[in-house]
Amino acid sequence: MDAIAVEHVSKRFDTVAAVSDLSLHIEQGAVFGLLGPNGAGKTTSLRMIMNILAPDEGAIQVLGQPASSRTQDLIGYLPEERGLYAKMKVREVLVFLAALKGLSEAEATLRVHEWLERLGLAAWSEKKMNDLSKGMQQKAQFIAAVIHRPPLLILDEPFTGLDPVNASLIKDIMLELREMGSTIILSTHRMEQVEMMCDAICLINHGRSVLAGDLRAIKKSYGKNTVRIEYTGDDNFLDLPDLVEKLNHFGAVVEAKLRPGADPQEILKAAVARGVRLTRFELVEPPLNDIFIEKVSEAHA
């Protein structure tokens, strides 16, 4: 049984097709990356999975049941747009939201206490929501998403605005929930996070799926066509239009995408000839970032 099965779903708003004939299958226990440029239809898709919106066509199943107000309680949701009741106490807001997901208030109170402790917010329990910093509010909202131990967790940009310590705290909790059997849908524009965390992805553009499947398999299908180089010296040696299709500078690191059939050895030769000191020379699969850009610009072409 899939955690999520989306079958040929379409959703229109007036004349705009937000989602067209989208099909998604998310395995139970997976971390699934839902990717796409702004306005691609990600939020609409997620809202349909959560039964906030109903599809015009197609069907959605959540853990084997048709999406309904009953399946809502199986899902935890961290929306991209953050916000909680500004004038309520942190504890009260979280207990209220947990109770809405089906917990008894006694149980909710207990768990809120535990979670606040764990995320270092225990001292803020009786403070008003708007006394909290942005990062703290985001942690509080994350608690609201996970407090009922949902079998399905939907996180929209969970790490934005968090410092590295808090980001790693949230990441650890996500992995822990996954160990316990939860399925996680991660929607983000940060491709390095997707590469590190996701098992499978779906890339949506203009409401349609343009790339879907196992992340390793997808990357493998592109082959090791990229050279990652770290060096000191003049970078003119990479001016090799016959070999290099595209260059990506990251300051200390350069990624060079090779033309089909080009021999990476030629780049090495050029570097040595120019007296550039290499500290790293590695043949890799294309970064997801490039695949993303390629797929999205393909559609625009």
Q: Which of 16, 59, 100, 299 binds other proteins (CB under 8 A)?
A: 100
Q: Does 242 bind other proteins (CB under 8 A)?
A: no
User: Given candidates 17, 99, 210, 293, which one binds other proteins under the rule CB under 8 A?
Assistant: 99
Taking CB under 8 A as the criterion, which residues in 32-91 touch other proteins? 47, 50-54, 56, 69, 72-73, 75, 77, 79, 81-88
Q: Which is nearer to other proteins, 88 or 169 (CB)?
A: 88
Using rule CB under 8 A, residue 101 touches other proteins: yes
Q: Which of residues 164-223 bind other proteins (CB under 8 A)?
A: none
Report, in Å, the least distance between residue 177 CB and other proteins.
17
With CA atoms as reference, report the closest residue to 115 among 88, 97, 100, 133: 97
Residue 144 binds to other proteins (criterion: CB under 8 A): yes
Q: What's the min distance (Å) between Cβ of 15 and other proteins?
A: 10
Check if the beta carbon of residue 274 is closer than 8 Å to that of residue 237. yes
Query: In terms of CB distance, is 109 or 248 closer to other proteins?
Result: 109
One residue of 2, 29, 96, 160 binding other proteins per CB under 8 A: 96
- Which residues are at the interface with other proteins (CB under 8 A)? 14, 47, 50-54, 56, 69, 72-73, 75, 77, 79, 81-88, 92, 96-97, 99-101, 141, 144
